[in-house]
Every structure is written in structure tokens, then in C-alpha cells.
Amino acid sequence: MRLEGSERAPLPGARRVGGVEATDRVAVTLVVRHRPDAPPFPDVAAMGRVRPEERSYLTREEFAVRHGAHPNDLGQVAKFARAHGLVVGRVSAGARTVQLEGPVLEVARLFGVTVERWSSGPVNYRGRTGPIQLPAELEGVVVGVFGLDDRPQARPHFRRHKTPAPTDVAYAPGTVAAAYDFPVGANGAGETIGLLEFGGGYSSSDLATFFGEVGVTAPTVTVVSVDGATNSPTGDPDGPDGEVELDVEVAGSTTPGSHLVVYFAPNTEQGFVDALNEAVHDTTNRPSIISLSWGAPESGWTTPARSALNAACEDASAMGVTVLVAAGDNGASDGVPGGALTVDFPASSPFVLGCGGTRLLLSGETIVSEVVWNELAIGEGATGGGVSEVFPLPSFQSGARVPPAPNGFVGRGVPDVAGDADPASGYSVVIDGSNSVVGGTSAVAPLWAALFARINQSLGVPVGYVNALLYSPSFATAFHDITSGNNDGYSAGPGWDACTGLGSPDGARLLQLLRTSP
């Protein structure tokens, strides 16, 4: 059976440089269906319309039993593996995943694809072409197969400031948090924030320097290795180290009492599926908030990958986990060739809060002005935003006046919320031993993650999937409405827009409304 939407083509301009070696081995991740005898999935849309203290979430263990993979389906995959000489690796009933390992040529043959070596500029990768074909033994059971293709999947959404101007400013993350009126008397104690990273790393000396400079006690940071990836700083501040250290320093300095867990995974479709599932279903660290600052245009993902990641975010909502995702740094086109308007994924999942970007000017800790971030004219990026051509308009956006997508599809609008992201009003951080000013929507996701950590601590319960509440009219005063600027495709205006969503936060007001709104 052909796995619908699983086709892959070579990267643009790629050339075949040879086959794979017969001795090469590969570990693939199979995603199986939800158990057929499961009770109805929690109505997260309805749950999201009531105050957090009135909700009832499933624990990770309860979710695995009720809505994970059926033991018979996991057994069917294991039987298939044994019959073909493959090794069964990690199995997660909650995430509905099974890893199988074996010779790459044999695994490719079993799933009906040809695997070859390709080169596209500086990128060399093992790639497959065409669709995945499911063996008869797995039809109706397996819904995704990942790992035969290891091309780079996504990019980090951060920008180091490179073209200084007299009007530029830079802020400590704590200053931005104060300007957004983050709740005082809370530091994230008791909360765990998961940060997903797909390359690079951080150094302990950089963190010590940064937290010393801002006068904040460094939070506890734990590393989780996914699919063999590790905390591996490259020494290149323009590379993924900039993303990793930005995330840790922004989240850590604004919630120093929280526990940060950094999940490192390869930058592949398989790495994304495995890392997000690891964080969502992590029964050891149990993050209540997940921040993801990497992504790619919706069209850059296979349908099974989008479905698997969207399902993981939906799983998170049933367990009271809030997922924040950066909306992208390349304006309304998301950097696609030709400039067609498109949105970034996973920010376009209806089960996450997509985070857009602004340019923020302060006097002390008081907002003087805030407009849409757009520095495309000088090559320093702009906030992503637009309308999905994959995910339909969710009920929580029914009153937001989301325009049709360019192809006419009535889709989910991106982003939902915003925060300071312009490198010209960026964050003062330490990357690879040097002080740097960094922006990008990458900074907005961990900033909002820190806000929810403070709110969770203050409420005594997780806010979880909060989209519907944020879009309700009674929550309008929880945002600074951004009405000026554009992202080269959409313009800001009163209420929700496809540049900055509902706006940047008034944290104290948001906490108050989450406590008291009906």
C-alpha cells in the first residue's frame, strides 16, 4: 500500500553522487495508529474554553493506556521485524512509535524505495525518492515511516544583528519580560520547560558568563539525547549554537526557578518526530511547556510527518502541556523560492501557539512603541505569518477574520501571539564566548514559554492548551494590539492579524483573566 503523501524528491539542484554501502545500517521510526478500541479522544477544544483550574488532564501514563498504541499493533510490527531480520529498538506505546534497525538496503527494499547519496551545494545526504510502500503485514497499522532520508529538514528562527544603526537598541531578556508585565512573585519554580534543538549546543562557560552578567541564578539544565544527537557546540555563533544558547538564556533568565530540559535530535523529519514525541511523552522530566524555535514551510514536509507532529501536539493538549512554536523569520513567504505566500510548520498546527515578532522600543521598562518586525529591506528578516494551506480554520479562530489562503483554502491563521523579535531591538546574550545581540521569532517562543511557567506556578495548575481562551473577546485586554507594519504579505490592524496575531502579552493581566474569566 502506498503511504499517501510520503513522496520525496531530491533537494533543488541536488545531484546523485552514488549509492549507499551494503554494510550501512539505519534505524527507522515507525508510527502506528491510535488503538482502535480507544475511548473518545479528550475534547480539547471544549476543555480549552474553560479556566485551567476547571480542567481535568490525563497523566502521561493514563494517556499511553487509553490512547497510545494497542499492544497487538506493536506486536504486529515486532513480528514483521523478526521475520525480516530487523532489530526492534525503542518502543513507546504513548507516542505510538517503534524503532527498527537493519541494513539500509534491506529496509529500503521492504518499504519499496531506492536510497542513494545526494549532494546539493554544501549539503550531502542520504535520500530516497518516491513514496513509501507499506508491506502487506503493516497495512492499516503503520501510518508513518521516518529515517530512510536524512536530509536537513528545518532551520532555526534566530537572527544575529549584523548591520548596526544609530536607532538600534538591545535588551536583557528580563527587561523585555518586565516591559510585558510578567507576573511578579513567580520565577517558574516547580515548572519544567522542554526546549527542542536540532543541532549545535551550549557551553557551561557561556551560561555562567551570561547569568552572571544579568545577575540571575542559573536554572537547572538537563540534556536528553534523541536518536544519538548530543549537546555539541560548533563554535560558530551564526550556526545552531546561536539558537540553542538563545533559547536557554531567554527562558532561563526570565524563569530562573524552572527546570530546563534540552532535547537534542538530528535535523531530519525523523529527528523532529522523535524529539517532539520524547518531550510530550517524557515520564521522567514531565515538561508542562514545550518551546520549539525551528521549522520549515508547510510544503517542505511530507504529509505523514505533518500528521505525526500535529498528532503529538494534540496529545500534548490532552495532557495539559502547552506547546509554543516560532512562526519564522522570512516574512510572509517563509523564504520559499519565488516569494509565494506560505506559513511555517509546526507553527501552523492548530494545537500550538504560533509566535510572531515585533520591533519593541522601551523607555526603561515602559513600552514606547511596538510595530511589526520587518527588516527584509536590509536582509535581517521579518516575522512569519499567513494562512495555512493544510490545516483548516480552527473553531477558536472563527471570529478572527482570517483571510483565505492564497489558493482560496479556508485555513488556520498564523501566528497567534507575538513578542520582541527584531535584531535591531534584540536580546543581549552570550554565544560561543562572545556577547551578541540576537533576534528572531526564536526568542519569542521561549519568552512565552517563560511567561506560562510563571503563570502555571501562580495558578498552581498548568494552563495547557489555551488557544480558545486567548481568542475569546474577554481576553483582548491581555494583549498589546500591534496595528502598524507588515510582513511583505499581510498588514497589521486591530485585533488578530497575520503578522503579530493577537499581539504581545500583558502578563499580569493574562494571569488575572485566567484566574477569573468564566
Contacting residues for 423 by C-beta, under 8 A, at least 6 apart = 159, 160, 161, 162, 375, 380, 381, 437, 438, 439, 440
- The DSSP code sequence of 272-284 is HHHHHHHHHT-TT
Segment 392-428, tens digit of pLDDT: 999 999 999 999 999 999 999 999 999 999 999 999 9
Is there a catalytic annotation at residue 481?
no
Sorted by where each starts, the structural domains of the chain and their CATH numbers stand as 155-476 (3.40.50.200)
Task: Examine the residue annotation and report whether 243 is marked as an active-site residue of this protein.
Answer: yes
State how far the alpha carbon of 381 is from the alpha carbons of 23, 243, 296, 427, 441, in Å. Answer: 44, 15, 15, 15, 10
The per-residue pLDDT for range 185-207, each reduced to its tens digit, is 999 999 999 999 999 999 999 99
For residue 492, the number of C-alpha atoms closer than 13 Å in the C-beta half-sphere is: 29
Check if 442 is active-site. Answer: yes
Query: Reduced to 3 DSSP states, what percent helix, strand and coil does the chain have, rounded to the nearest 5?
Result: 30, 30, 40
| Dist. CA 27–CA 98, nearest whole Å | 10
Predicted pLDDT of residue 2: 92
From CA 420, how far away is CA 440, in angstroms rounded? 8
- Over pLDDT 90: what percentage of the chain? 93
Query: Which residues, at least 6 apart from 492, have a Cβ–Cβ distance to it below 8 Å?
Result: 371, 372, 482, 483, 484, 485, 486, 499, 500
Tell me the pLDDT band of 350, cut-offs 50, 70 and 90: very high
Q: What is the pLDDT of residue 48?
A: 82
Per the rule left: phi > 0, alpha: psi between -120 and 50, beta: everything else, 512 is alpha
Give pLDDT tens digits for 80-135.
999 999 999 999 999 999 999 999 999 999 999 999 999 999 999 999 988 999 99
Query: Which of 247, 334, 375, 506 is the catalytic position?
Result: 247
Catalytic residue selected from 243, 269, 298, 380: 243
Q: pLDDT value at position 14? A: 95
Residues in a beta bridge with 15: 119
In terms of Cβ atoms closer than 10 Å to its own Cβ (0-12, 13-18, 19+), residue 317 is buried
Cα atoms in the 13 Å half-sphere on the side-chain side of 281? 26
State which of 47-61, 156-170, 237-251 shows the largest mean pLDDT.
237-251
| Partners of 25 in beta bridges | 103
Residue 327's pLDDT is 98
- For the cut 80, the answer to whether the pLDDT of residue 279 exceeds it is yes
* Planar angle of CA 211, 479, 414, nearest 5 degrees: 90
Measured CA to CA, the distance from residue 460 to residue 196 in angstroms comes to 25
- pLDDT for residue 461: 96
- The catalytic position among 442, 458, 504, 506 is 442
In order of 356, 363, 419, 506, the CA distances from 366 in angstroms are 21, 5, 14, 12
Whether residue 22 is predicted with pLDDT greater than 80 in this model: the reply is: yes
Rounded to 10 degrees, what is the CA torsion of 178, 184, 189, 193?
A: -30
pTM over 0.95: yes
